[in-house]
Amino acid sequence: MGLRSKNKVSTEFSMSSMTDIVFLLLIFFMLTSQIVTPLGLKVDLPTSKTSSIDLQKITVSISDDLKYAINGKVIDQSSFEQELKEVIMSTPEDERLVILNVDKKVPMEHFVKVAGLAANLKAKLTIGTKAD
């Protein structure tokens, strides 16, 4: 008496669900990587009780060894003013937001220099900090 079942178990594995998951993860990581903007220079930011995330339009970084960077691109001190002016003037007036990331060891005169340049070019200025 040979009993055989009508339903035969398939030994094949379908990869379609796995490719869907990998594709969704890829999209997720591509979108979230656009939100985070690297500084370009290693800067030890001061801490603050409140920290907000702004869409970064123009980022100016000053490291503890007094290297300047605009939007992640290291700039020589002698041409810094001209480069900053070109970047600010090429940005639409309502989007002129300069985020100043200054290492906490940098003397205040360098901070004031960049803040004065931004103010003269009618750009808004905010200070980059890290959460406390």
pLDDT 10s digits, 38-95: 556 666 666 666 655 555 578 888 888 888 898 888 888 888 888 888 888 888 877 7
**What is the rounded end-to-end Cα distance, in angstroms, of the chain?**
77
Residue 32 in any domain: the answer is no
Residue 28 in any domain: the answer is no
Q: How many CB atoms lie within 10 A of CB 117?
A: 18
Contact partners, residue 62, CB within 8 Å, separation at least 6: 41, 43, 68, 69, 100, 101, 102, 103, 106, 110, 111, 114
Collect contacts of 74-83 with beta carbons under 8 A, ≥24 apart.
74/40, 74/41, 81/117
* CATH code where residue 90 lies: 3.30.420
Question: Roughly what angle, to the nearest 10 degrees, separates helices 108-120 and 80-89?
Answer: 40
Residue 19 in any domain: the answer is no
pLDDT at 88: 85
Q: Which of 11-15, 22-26, 45-49, 72-76 is predicted least confidently?
A: 45-49
Residue range of the domain that includes 60: 47-131
pLDDT at 12: 75
Total structural domains in the chain? 1
β-partners of residue 124 are 97
Q: Is the dihedral of CA 97, 56, 70, 47 positive or negative?
A: positive
- pLDDT band at residue 10 under the 50/70/90 scheme: confident
Residue 73 in any domain: the answer is yes
Considering only residues 57 and 35, tell me which one the structure prediction assigns the higher pLDDT.
57
Residue 54 CA to residue 98 CA, distance in Å, equals 10
Residue 34 in any domain: the answer is no
Residue 24 in any domain: the answer is no
Residue 51 in any domain: the answer is yes
